[in-house]
Amino acid sequence: MHRTFSILTISLALSLPLSIDAAEPNAFYTGKAIQLIISTSPGGATDVAGRLLSRYFGKYLPGHPNIITQNMAGAGGIVSANYLYNVAKPDGLTLLAVNRANYLEQMVGRPEVKLDFRKLNWIGSFNRAPMMITCRKDSPYTSIEAMRSAKTPPRFGEGGTGSISYVFSALVSEIFDFKVKHVTGYGSAREIDLGVERGEADCRATSDITLVRPPWPTWAQQGYMIFVVQQGPTKSRLLPQSTPTVYELAPANAKANLALMDIMTAYTDFDRPFAAPPGVPADRLKLLRDGFEKVLADPGFLIEAKKLIDWDGTSFLNGADLQKKIDKTVSQPPDVIKRIKDILKEST
């Protein structure tokens, strides 16, 4: 009897640590809080998407941690990206709603970029949002031809050199051979809207999803803004179908620039990306990625996403696919990097 008891006790003792270790990934988030940093000021689409995710994410993580959002705007999203990469602990308790085009600033070697976007642990992204250019109706820039013939360049309101507006306006000006004046320093999409209203900027290059939030439905209805061109080659379902695409208007000699546009606007395929720092344990990264995918299938989330950003529930990238997409996009040969640098430099 005593011998049997001893053997059972020893067996239990030997197996206990293994059981605890096996359960640890699922128990880690119990009683904890995740800080979700948002790379812009409040009010823009990135802020809306980040706060939307925060309302559901804890529900689909073991232990149901609280999700606390914090805005950390600056340098068009680079301040928060640098923080995630260099300061945040790699424990799975800090995430970032990334400015989707910031990787381009790494590609062209901006000195303020202190990270490698390929080494972030990508959680996933939802929504696809192609680009457009729109200008005030009372401006002289209501068509591509008008921009080319204008005496002074159109002023584009933008966050920074890595913002989606800066990148797309620079590309379009290169393809169609006209000058652009970049008015940078805005902290959020709403601030750019206000800049347009105040007459500080004439035009905006932004994603089509902008149309679903105020004041854009009113602006569109009143004809306050003219939709000049959209990315293409497929037309956006949110824009007037009469809005031409870059591909339709591009001259015959623009083939190389169109191919470059596909690289530089790869971000339109991952409209709302989320990432964790490098070094997060693989088991916790899996929990975060799995939880993210489960959020995207939540009925309540789908209703809110449709209302707030007109997401149809179909266009998304899981963490593994987004990781591959970022790596492939950033890892370009030197000649392509040089061309991207030239375009962005010429537009400054």
The count of C-alpha atoms lying within 13 angstroms of the C-alpha of 226, restricted to the half-sphere facing its C-beta, is 15
- The residue among 267, 289, 307 that closes a domain is 267
Question: Is 161 in the same domain as 217?
Answer: yes
Question: Is 141 in the same domain as 245?
Answer: yes
**Which helix (H) or strand (E) covers residue 89, if one does?**
none
> What is the chain's mean pLDDT, rounded?
90
* DSSP-based three-state secondary structure for 148: helix
Question: Is 263 in the same domain as 306?
Answer: no
282-295 and 2-27 helices cross at what angle (nearest 10)? 60
Question: Is 154 in the same domain as 30?
Answer: no
Question: Is 160 in the same domain as 263?
Answer: yes
- The residue among 219, 241, 267 that closes a domain is 267
Query: For residues 127 and 141, what is the distance between their CA atoms, to the nearest angstrom?
Result: 30
Query: For residues 82 and 96, what is the distance between their CA atoms, to the nearest angstrom?
Result: 11
pLDDT of 2 above 80: no
Which position has the token pair 């004439």?
Answer: 202
Question: Is 178 in the same domain as 289?
Answer: no
Question: Is 275 in the same domain as 222?
Answer: no
Question: Is 152 in the same domain as 240?
Answer: yes
CATH number at residue 298: 3.40.190.150
pLDDT of 172 above 90: yes
Whether 338 is in a domain gets the answer no
CATH number at residue 166: 3.40.190.10
In this predicted model, which residue has the larger pLDDT, 319 or 74?
319
Query: For residues 286 and 219, what is the distance between their CA atoms, to the nearest angstrom?
Result: 43
Whether 163 is in a domain gets the answer yes
Whether 340 is in a domain gets the answer no
Whether 93 is in a domain gets the answer yes
Structure letter (DSSP) for residue 235: P
Strand order in the sheet with 316-318: 66-71, 33-38, 94-97, 272-276, 121-126, 316-318
Tokens for 91, please give them.
Answer: 């424990």
Which stretches of 92-245 are DSSP H helices? 103-107, 144-149, 164-176, 189-197, 216-222
Under a CB-based contact definition with an 8 Å cutoff, are residues 191 and 41 in contact?
Answer: yes
Whether 323 is in a domain gets the answer yes
Report pTM: 0.77
Which stretches of 28-157 are DSSP H helices? 45-57, 78-86, 103-107, 144-149
Whether 4 is in a domain gets the answer no
- The DSSP bridge pattern shows strands 66-71 and 94-97 to be unpaired
Under a CB-based contact definition with an 8 Å cutoff, are residues 205 and 164 in contact?
Answer: yes
pLDDT confidence bin for 277, thresholds 50/70/90? very high
Domain enclosing residue 115, as ranges? 25-128+270-332
Question: Is 192 in the same domain as 289?
Answer: no
What are the start-end ranges of the E strands in 238-342? Answer: 272-276, 316-318
pLDDT of 90 above 90: yes
Instruction: Find, among 67, 33, 32, the residue nearest to 52 by Cα.
Output: 67
Question: Is 190 in the same domain as 206?
Answer: yes
Question: Is 200 in the same domain as 256?
Answer: yes
pLDDT tens string 191-230: 999 999 999 999 999 999 889 888 999 999 999 999 999 9
Q: How many domains does the chain have?
A: 2
Question: Is 291 in the same domain as 310?
Answer: yes
Q: Which residues 6+ apart lie within 8 Å of 223 measured at CB?
A: 137
Instruction: Report the percentage of the chain scoring pLDDT > 90.
Output: 70
Following CA atoms 335, 340, 346, 347 in sequence, which dihedral angle do they give, to the nearest 10 degrees? Answer: 170
Confidence at residue 43, expressed as pLDDT on a 0 to 100 scale: 83
**Which helix (H) or strand (E) covers residue 225, if one does?**
strand 225-230
